[in-house]
Structure 1
């Protein structure tokens, strides 16, 4: 026989059920492409091998657990050969671990940083060896400076490519710093690469992007206070933030770059554009991306990098037809005419191969450009200069020319 309960008892039971569900949720994990993701800190995060984690003990900083865990990682790379082969590099890693722990510059716990209470091993097991090593190779202020710059370089890589390092040592400044600080041999060392793949993830992404001058990072007051003491980035690193588009937006950068190059081409005033081709959206979008890159980063939502991230999937869906049309038009122009200055862009896989399918997608436009090309070549064969050819072949529809349309669209935002 079913027993009736009061409304208040039913609500209590329901609340208990919800709380139990939340507790269970913290244990949820799944695998994708060989990687494990676990629900921690209110989002799913990749679970990395714990032998690559920075182990910390914020309540007992005198124990130097961060440094000891870094030493343990280095000690276990290729039987510890890296410790003797690249001592300055290793001291940089050790100093980095120490500074991250002491100043609370580390990434959120449970991602690639773990409290010693939850560690699967005790890094203090190698304490004597670590102390002997540091006595032989003292940590200097230069090592701390090197570590800061490596962290900045890694976060710039993340901003632009979504990877801190990659399958090989990547990034202009990462490669530059490694070679400058530790020599060409370190640049090509697989052991150095393995060590970097572990340690550069330890630094707090939000805090370091904030110090690089990236706008609208979602910072807590506590994180701002912690990073007040983080060394300022060199101006060249801060400028590099805006020299490339954020990860996930390269197609928009490619389109804008191709249009800008074509607008400077000597015959851009003669080449017409289809009347239905809209250019204003790409310059408006690129202006928005350049103004606030973090909103458009591929991981902005999952890593809670800003308060109002853009959904790139929705953005791509919104503009997919316009993206395809622009890429096709640009590809046809570059393939029909020679020496536009944009030929190198066709190496990018986002452009379709030049062939019947591409031509048929814009057949009338393609044939129109072929006729224009023939007219230009007639006067080039007569040794006319490009300025005279432009004047001679001006159709009177200059407002629809490649040059005018791009200049007009760009002028609204730049």
Structure 2
């Protein structure tokens, strides 16, 4: 490749290996005009050439996509599209070729395959694909023509026509996959996951499909084809960074059900599980039957509890800002750097994990003894035991420090809890119920600074 740039009256010719100068010419462009032309050449010619380039590094393949080199995986599973000429149904033949390569899936699961083929056609026709997604390849950049199985595909669809139900099913699966991405950072994991993904696969294709490796493989390819931002926008996730063009493209995307929209808030976004765990655990402590007797006099702990509920409130109202991939995928305007957030609040987080650990480890083994109480109390007792079991389960979460560590973190609190537990044990052995025990031990307790009062 070579090019010429003019500066004043001198021509500079650039080749791949060297620079050759000099030839005076008074009719050449000015340096500014020449620079503009050369930049235009780079934008129009060179970048277009880059889209055809790829390189391998440590066994991984990279390709120039969306103005940067991105790693590409399983290229034979990528959907090839030609949205400028949807009547060619390039996406349909591409999807058929992918399904054809997955064992005997086309024959064993025709309803599922028609659903995937419907997804491909709808994504291409409506521009619901993700341009920057390396799972999508434009027809002009594909290596092999996807119509190699055109005759087989046309015959298959005659035998198994695509109907409106397949489109509905496919769009619901796409929505469920984006909910999975929001909550776990994965559209589909190493096994079928996601409450609604599992529900719909079972409803549409039967229980056998839930454990089908072939269906899992097909889903791993197809659910990545659709645009993440567009579907999250349709799910009414607040503050999605979405262009006017993409908004227009998704105008005719059917409204997700209210149930699926609510599922957005059923779990915290990917990358924020420890904040969710802390809040849920604190709320379990609030409901612990002896929380009215546990004093929290430390101002540090009280401030940390306020901080936790404030940040959790923000996560719950603006989940996309806290998503692990929010910055990389430009999902919102001002994404939170989760590593910085964790580092800057390390002491607060450690404090709360140790607080929960020390309380749980001291009290999780307390059980109400009810064998000799009357039958009229049996239902109430069962409820209390269920709550206690949920409380006990915190012992088995590896994220919480061991008692020997948390007791060093809060030695005075640990000593108080040990003494309180001994006193409670005495009344437990006499088969007192917990309300009577609280009434007996409440004297001398600073009720304004108990775990119960601070969390209500």
Q: Same fold (TM over 0.5)?
A: yes
Residues 312 and 44 of structure 1: is their aligned pair in 2 closer, same or farther, counting only changes over 3 Å? farther
Shift of 1:355: 4.5
Check the 8 A contact 2:65/2:132 in 1, yes or no.
no
2: distance between equivalents of 1:377 and 1:192?
A: 55
In structure 2, C-alpha distance between the alignment counterparts of 1:370 and 1:193, rounded to whole Å: 51
Contact 1:211/1:233, CA 8 A, preserved across alignment: yes
Q: What is the Cα deviation at residue 334 of structure 1?
A: 0.9
- Match of 1:364? 412
1:209 counterpart residue number? 232
Whole-Å Cα distance in 2 between the matches of residues 187 and 383 of structure 1? 48
Matched residue, 1:87: 110
1:406 aligns with 2:455: yes
Q: Deviation of residue 222 (structure 1)?
A: 1.0
Q: Residues 346 and 161 from structure 1, CA distance in 2 versus in 1: closer, same or farther, beyond 3 angstroms? A: farther
Paired residue for 1:387? Answer: 435
Rounded Cα–Cα distance in structure 1 between residues aligned with 2:85 and 2:136? 16
Aligned residue for 1:71?
Answer: 96
Equivalent residue, structure 1, for 2:19: none
Q: Secondary structure at the match of 1:232?
A: coil
Instruction: From the superposition, tell whether residues 378 and 110 of structure 1 become closer, same or farther in structure 2 (CA, over 3 Å).
Output: closer
Q: Structure 1 139/206 Cα, relative in aligned 2: closer, same or farther at 3 Å?
A: same
Asked if 1:310 is matched to 2:333, the reply is: no
CA contact (8 A) 2:241 2:332 kept: yes
Please provide the CA RMSD for this pair: 2.6
Using a 3 Å threshold, how does the CA distance of structure 1 residues 356 and 261 change in structure 2: closer, same or farther? closer
Pick from 286, 304, 312: which aligns with 2:312? 286
Question: Does the CA-based 8 Å contact 1:274-1:365 persist in structure 2?
Answer: no
Q: Which runs of structure 2 are paired with 1:92-131 in the superposition (5 Å)?
A: 92-109=115-132, 111-131=134-154
Q: What SS does the aligned partner of 1:310 have?
A: coil
> Structure 1-normalised TM-score?
0.89
The alpha carbon displacement at 1:235 in A equals 1.2
Distance 1:331 1:310 in 2: 28
Q: Secondary structure at the match of 2:293?
A: coil
* In 2: Cα distance, 1:226 partner to 1:243 partner: 28
Q: Could you report, residue by residue, the CA deviation over 1:265-319 in whole angstroms, capped at 9, with x for unpaired residues?
A: 1110111225021211100000000001000000001001111111111111111
The 5-angstrom pairing of residues 3-402 of structure 1 reads 9=31, 36=61, 38=63, 40-42=65-67, 45-78=70-103, 81-109=104-132, 111-273=134-296, 275=298, 276-277=300-301, 278-338=304-364, 340=388, 341-352=390-401, 354-394=402-442, 395-402=444-451
1:31/1:385 CA distance change after superposition, 3 Å = farther
Structure 2 CA distance, aligned partners of 1:292 and 1:331?
A: 29
**Counterparts of 1:345 and 1:55 in 2: how far apart (Å)?**
48
Task: Look up the SS of the partner of 2:292 in the other structure.
Answer: coil
What TM-score, normalized by structure 2, do the two folds share? 0.81
Shift of 1:345: 2.9
- CA 1:180/1:29 → structure 2, altered by over 3 Å: closer, same or farther? same
- Give how far 1:18 is off: 12
Q: How many Å separate the matches in 1 of 2:33 and 2:278?
A: 56
Structure 1 runs not aligned, ≥5 long: 408-414
- Structure 2: runs of 5+ lacking an equivalent: 1-6, 9-29, 367-387
Q: Distance between the aligned counterparts of 2:198 and 2:57, measured in 1?
A: 32
